[in-house]
Amino acid sequence: MQYRIDGTPLPVLVCTLNPGETMITERGSMCWMSAGMRMETKGSGGIGKMLGRAFTGESMFINRYTSEGGVNEIAFASSFPGSIIPVEITPAMPLIVQKSGFLASTEGIEFAVHFQRKLSAGLFGGEGFLLQRLTGQGLAFVEIDGSCHLRTLAPGEVLRVDTGNLAAMDASVRMEVETVKGFTNVLFGGEGLFLTRLTGPGRVWLQSLPAMAVAQALIPFLPKPSN
């Protein structure tokens, strides 16, 4: 499989598949495909995995696109202005992504619900109590809201992230939530009450424009319902 990522700020992932190669995605992200692509819609694992994906806000079904009768092309679009990044998944290096972050992958990637170790991380970490965990062997493509910044944390190295700016991380990274210190900081700092604390080792993908932050910023400009 060969791929390229075109366009900005609404990128498109264009994949060229050899005969027999398969791409996996969720419903609604496919833009176009050659006539030789065969589509199958299946449940994403057993009942437990399907319900788990429903809890994260994702579809319980996935689409499989297989190239037949020669080399074929298929494209997948980002759902929000930002970036698409490729990440190699191996059995030794699973990936934790925000609940809307998975775009597509090669065959061999499995999806599961990732539970935060601490309740506080789920309640105040910006991405809810449930995230997605990608395991297996293959190449996954992840949606990033806005521009992407990659940090590699050394063992024990700590990075504090504003709520919602965490897009993905290696499963080896520990995620916790801490309260912003100082009454003045909390009241006038404009950064909220909580920060996400990430402790290495592992890679961390940060996003500059969380979709939730954009939605909140637009609320004051929306028409108010009339009584």
CB 133 within 8 A of CB 96: yes
CB 49 within 8 A of CB 111: yes
| Alpha-carbon gap, residue 167 to 165, rounded angstroms | 6
| Alpha-carbon gap, residue 131 to 78, rounded angstroms | 19
Token pair 């694992």 in the structure block, residue: 45
Closest among 193, 194, 142, 188 to 168, alpha carbons compared: 142
Q: Which amino acid belongs to residue 91?
A: P
| Alpha-carbon gap, residue 150 to 169, rounded angstroms | 9
Out of 63-72, 86-95, 207-216, which region has the weakest mean confidence (pLDDT)? 207-216
Given a cut of 90, is residue 71 above it in pLDDT? yes
| Alpha-carbon gap, residue 111 to 60, rounded angstroms | 11
Strands 158-162 and 130-136: unpaired
pTM: 0.81
Out of 63-67, 94-98, 183-187, which region has the weakest mean confidence (pLDDT)? 183-187
How many residues are given for the chain? Answer: 227
Asked whether the CA dihedral 213, 217, 218, 219 is positive or negative, the reply is positive
Segment 149-176 shows an average pLDDT of 93
Asked whether the CA dihedral 198, 201, 202, 208 is positive or negative, the reply is positive
Out of 54-58, 124-128, 138-142, 204-208, which region has the weakest mean confidence (pLDDT)? 124-128
Out of 45-59, 109-123, 149-163, which region has the weakest mean confidence (pLDDT)? 45-59
Q: Which fold has domain 2-217?
A: Double-stranded beta-helix (3.60.160)
Segment 52-61 shows an average pLDDT of 58
Per-domain boundaries in the chain: 2-217
Given a cut of 90, is residue 142 above it in pLDDT? yes
| Alpha-carbon gap, residue 194 to 198, rounded angstroms | 13
Higher pLDDT, 70 or 48: 70
Closest among 33, 160, 20, 31 to 84, alpha carbons compared: 31
Closest among 143, 122, 185, 192 to 163, alpha carbons compared: 192
Which range of 48-57, 172-181, 215-224 scores highest in mean pLDDT? It is 172-181
pLDDT of residue 128: 46
| Cβ neighbours, 10 Å, residue 80 | 17
Average pLDDT along the chain: 82
Token pair 């990659």 in the structure block, residue: 150
Query: What ranges in the chain are assigned the alpha helix state H?
Result: 47-55, 119-124, 183-188, 211-218
Tokens representing residue 162 in the block: 């504003």
